[in-house]
């Protein structure tokens, strides 16, 4: 699995912890920045990661900012992206099982590195349930995108 990763200055400290986890667990990754602590806009990193996933260049995306909120709002504007904003393991697992989320956003000012890894681990290692009612709901999201993005 290839994972697109990105952060702004508010999430910069979580990214090396994530990279270490990805390396140790056999995930490929593409790092879309940012690369320093200079104040920057989350928008461009969320867009780069979301586009990489939407185009199929990467399988999943993980985004960090201060709260995860700005990143998730932007990522969810990209057609084909279902970004879960998760700060607990249960939600991370459920957003894969029920929503087939392909991107996740977290806030460095909300969770520490240990919990972040547990959340990411659940996100990357849980498959979509495929249950008919969840598939129907996801297909309604796809249909809504088709209508609204014309
Ligand atoms: C930056 O201060 C902060 O606003 C940003 O990282 C993020 O939390 C926005 O949603």
Angstrom distance (rounded) from CA 112 to CA 95: 20
Share of the chain above pLDDT 70, in %: 100
46 lines ligand 1 (CB under 6 A): no
Q: Return the pLDDT at 150.
A: 72
Nearest residue by C-alpha to atom 5 in ligand 1: 66
Best residue for ligand 1 mutational test, from 12, 43, 71 (most atoms within 8 Å of Cβ): 71
Share of the chain above pLDDT 90, in %: 98
Q: Which two tokens stand for residue 8?
A: 């702004």
Residue 45 CA to ligand 1 center (angstroms) comes to 12
pTM of the model: 0.97
Residue with structure tokens 């995306």? 61
Q: Return the pLDDT at 149.
A: 82
Dihedral Cα 107, 109, 114, 117, nearest 10 deg: 10
What band does 93 get if pLDDT is binned at 50, 70 and 90? very high
Angstrom distance (rounded) from CA 99 to CA 93: 10
Does the active-site annotation cover 7? Answer: no
Angstrom distance (rounded) from CA 110 to CA 127: 26
């Amino acid at each position: 699995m290839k994972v697109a990763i990105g952060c702004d200055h508010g999430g910069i400290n979580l990214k090396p912890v994530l990279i270490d986890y990805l390396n140790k667990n056999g995930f490929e990754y593409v790092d879309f920045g940012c690369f320093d602590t200079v104040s920057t806009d989350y928008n461009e990193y969320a867009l780069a990661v979301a586009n990489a996933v939407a185009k199929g260049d990467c399988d999943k995306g993980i985004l960090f900012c201060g709260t995860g909120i700005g990143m998730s709002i932007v990522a969810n504007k990209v057609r084909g992206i279902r970004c879960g904003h998760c700060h607990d393991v249960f939600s991370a697992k459920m957003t894969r099982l029920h929503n087939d989320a392909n991107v996740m956003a977290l806030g460095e000012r909300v969770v520490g590195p240990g919990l972040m890894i547990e959340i990411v681990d659940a996100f990357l290692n849980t498959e979509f349930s495929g249950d008919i009612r969840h598939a129907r709901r996801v297909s309604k999201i796809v249909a809504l995108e088709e209508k609204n993005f014309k």
